[in-house]
Structure 1
Amino acid sequence: MSTHGPMPRSSWVFPLLSVLLFVGVTALHYTFVPSVFGWLFAAALLVILFGTVFAAVHHAEVVAERIGEPFGTLLLTLSVTIIEVALIATIMLGEKAVTTLARDTVFAVVMIVCNGLVGLCILVGGLRYREQDIQASGSSLYLSVLLVLATITLIMPNYTLTTPGPIYSAGQLGFVSVATILLYGVFLYTQTVRHRDYFVADANVDHDGPQASNKTIMLSTALLLISLLAVVLLAKKFSQVVDASAAQIGAPPAFAGILVALLILMPEGVAAIAAARRNNLQKSINLALGSSIATIGLTVPAVAIAAYELDRQLVLGLPPQEMVLLALTLLLAMLTLGSGRTNILFGLVHLVVFAIFMFLVFVP
């Protein structure tokens, strides 16, 4: 959705539908069960949820453009994080406790973003423009922060001694949560204020159209709050559909994490691919890598607090196979983005790694 011009009809229709759906299932005390009607309900729920997430991101972008940086970026990030935490916490606390969901979702976000989305953007741009330029200095900052965040949240829990297995102790989890928030905060300041020129293709171009009116800003603010509240309220029904779908097809536990990751990444993914088609690969990289950093930097601490308050175990450490894929992904991203120029081969290599990740989820 464009942030300029008339407000798209879908940006208010889907939030309205989500509220009506929640009121309806609450009034009827409906609980999802696998049946013909149940699967029709599941299809409608997924369509409305996806549309509402798109609407929330659109309204956050409208408001973010008006309030400027760094608050605009922070607002957009917090909006997506609220949606992600609501979905993860609800599924984790469902009838079948999923202690690995936060880990699976974070890992899925990194793999989808750094391989699937980055690869597709580079391939689409390369097919149309042969080669595209990006800011190597900005990419280095992205990847250095992502490397540290991914290591301390997804790999280090396997090698600590205070608690056995892929689990941090309460003290360790608290320390890591503070460290990730601090690192993300400094990165956000660097990106939006201190070294903003590292992350834009043309430092002299800030906007591509007129600013939204005050009336539009007020309406977008209200619809953003409604959209976020609606997603949070429907998260319980979404978790029931995920559990039933996974049981129906015999999907592995990581399937739920992939579904949550796809739901929250879809709006930014569409925007990133569109930017690559307009020969603005830098914006694509900003959206893609920014999503993965925000997911670890904000979602992990939020889920850690929820797990601590509700006395639930939080498994973060990856199995050996997935650690190898994570290391391969980060190394490949450094090689791809470090040169400052991309072509279709870089994109294809990333997509091959993404295909390997998806295949191994179902055939480990």
Structure 2
Amino acid sequence: MSAHGPMPRSAWIFPALAVLLFAVATGLGLEFTPSAGGLLFAAVLLAILFGTVFAAVHHAEVIAERVGEPYGTLLLTLAVTIIEVALISTIMLGVKPVPALARDTVFAVVMIVCNGLVGLCIFIGGLRYREQDFQVSGANLYLSVLFVLATITLVLPNYTLTTPGPVYSAAQLGFVSVVTLVLYGVFLYTQTILHSDYFVGSGSDAAHGEAPLSNRMLALSVALLLVSLLAVVLLAKKFSLVVDVVTAMIGAPPAFAGVLVAVLVLLPESVAAIGAARKNYLQKSINLALGSSLATIGLTIPAVAVAAYVFDKPPLVLGLNTQEMVLLMLTFVISMLTFGTGRTNILFGLVHMVVFAVFLFMVFVP
């Protein structure tokens, strides 16, 4: 979907279909079961859910063009994070507890974004322009906050003494959630007010010669964005049933559910990031990619922790295993090298994509 020109029909059809599907499924008591009818329901659900997520991101892009950078990228990131929190919370708080889902999804988002998406954007940009530049100061701020958040939420739980295993005690989880929110909040203040110039690159994908967005279209996009987000939240319960049964049917490892949720919420934003890289606006790609990682950890972990406490669910399993920690540390190192010079080329992109391929392979063949 393009944020320019007339609103595409899919931008309002899919949110309407999502609300209609939820009403029909709830009224008739439709549930997903491993049968012909159940598989048809699952296919329809996934098609409408993906379309609604794309619609939500489209409307966020329309609004983002009006408010400008870096607020526009921030709006896109927050919209995707709301969808992600809804899906994780719904699956995790279902009848069958999944205390490790938040960890698996957050880790999958970091690996998909920092290796798969970043690598693909750099690789595509390198093929088309040989080299692309970006703001080193902005990238360093992203990475410094991301490294701290990822370490205290995904690595440190393995080495605490109050509780054994890869979990935090209630007091520790509460403290980590608070400092995570504070750090992310200060980052947003830095990004939008103190040093917004750090996050605006020299390239631009702005449209030239197009009529400015009217107030009527802006209001319509705001309303449809809210409807789209609400529709995804309403369908999250149905989606959780599909994830559970499909994972069992294909014999996938537990981490597969986290990867599936991450792919669903990141796909539209990934399309926008790749499109920006193709237009030689790598800075926007970096803002979208690294911003998604920060928002996922900075907002998802505290939100899921609160949900687990309120609904009296088992403690969240947050600590990664040794293999995953190695991949995370490797991602940190190559990210510092990639974003340390202010210029990229295809080799940087390929290195990130190889690490992502290793991560994906290890999910199924650990």
TM-score bracket, shorter-length normalisation: over 0.9
How far apart are 1:4 and its partner, in Å? Answer: 2.6
In the alignment, what sits opposite 2:340? 338
Structure 1 runs not aligned, ≥5 long: none
Q: Is the 8 A contact 1:115 1:350 kept in 2?
A: yes
Q: Is the 8 A contact 1:81 1:298 kept in 2?
A: yes
Q: Is the 8 A contact 1:70 1:193 kept in 2?
A: no
Amino acid at match of 2:281: N
Deviations 1:231-263 (A, max 9, x none): 111111101110111001100000010011011
Amino acid at match of 1:215: R
Once the two structures are superposed, the pairs formed by residues 236-247 of structure 1 within 5 Å of their partners are 236-247=237-248
Q: C-alpha distance in 2, partners of 1:159/1:343? A: 38
Deviations 1:32-77 (A, max 9, x none): 1011221122111111111101111221232344355776555433
Q: C-alpha distance in 2, partners of 1:126/1:63? A: 30
Which of the residues 349, 352, 363 maps onto 1:350?
A: 352
Q: Is the 8 A contact 2:73 2:287 kept in 1?
A: no
Structure 2 length-normalised TM:
0.95
Amino acid at match of 1:92: M
Aligned residue pairs: how many? 364
In the alignment, what sits opposite 1:192? 192
Q: Call closer, same or farther: CA 1:70–1:189 in 2, change over 3 Å.
A: farther
Residues 58-67 or 226-235, more deviating: 58-67
Once the two structures are superposed, the pairs formed by residues 49-68 of structure 1 within 5 Å of their partners are 49-67=49-67
SS at match of 1:338: coil
Q: C-alpha distance in 2, partners of 1:218/1:339? A: 41
Amino acid at match of 2:95: E
Q: Call closer, same or farther: CA 1:357–1:205 in 2, change over 3 Å.
A: closer
Q: C-alpha distance in 1, partners of 2:69/2:88? A: 28
Structure 2 runs not aligned, ≥5 long: none
How far apart are 1:5 and its partner, in Å? Answer: 1.8
SS at match of 2:339: helix
In the alignment, what sits opposite 1:303? 304
In the alignment, what sits opposite 1:96? 96
In the alignment, what sits opposite 2:21? 21
Q: C-alpha distance in 2, partners of 1:197/1:97? A: 44
Q: Is the 8 A contact 1:177 1:300 kept in 2?
A: yes
Percent sequence identity over aligned pairs: 74
Q: Is the 8 A contact 2:327 2:359 kept in 1?
A: yes
In the alignment, what sits opposite 2:267? 266
Q: C-alpha distance in 1, partners of 2:58/2:139? A: 25
Q: Is the 8 A contact 1:246 1:252 kept in 2?
A: yes
Q: Call closer, same or farther: CA 1:204–1:74 in 2, change over 3 Å.
A: closer
Amino acid at match of 1:44: V
Once the two structures are superposed, the pairs formed by residues 146-225 of structure 1 within 5 Å of their partners are 146-202=146-202, 210-225=211-226
Amino acid at match of 1:199: F
How far apart are 1:194 and its partner, in Å? Answer: 1.4
Q: Is the 8 A contact 1:162 1:169 kept in 2?
A: yes
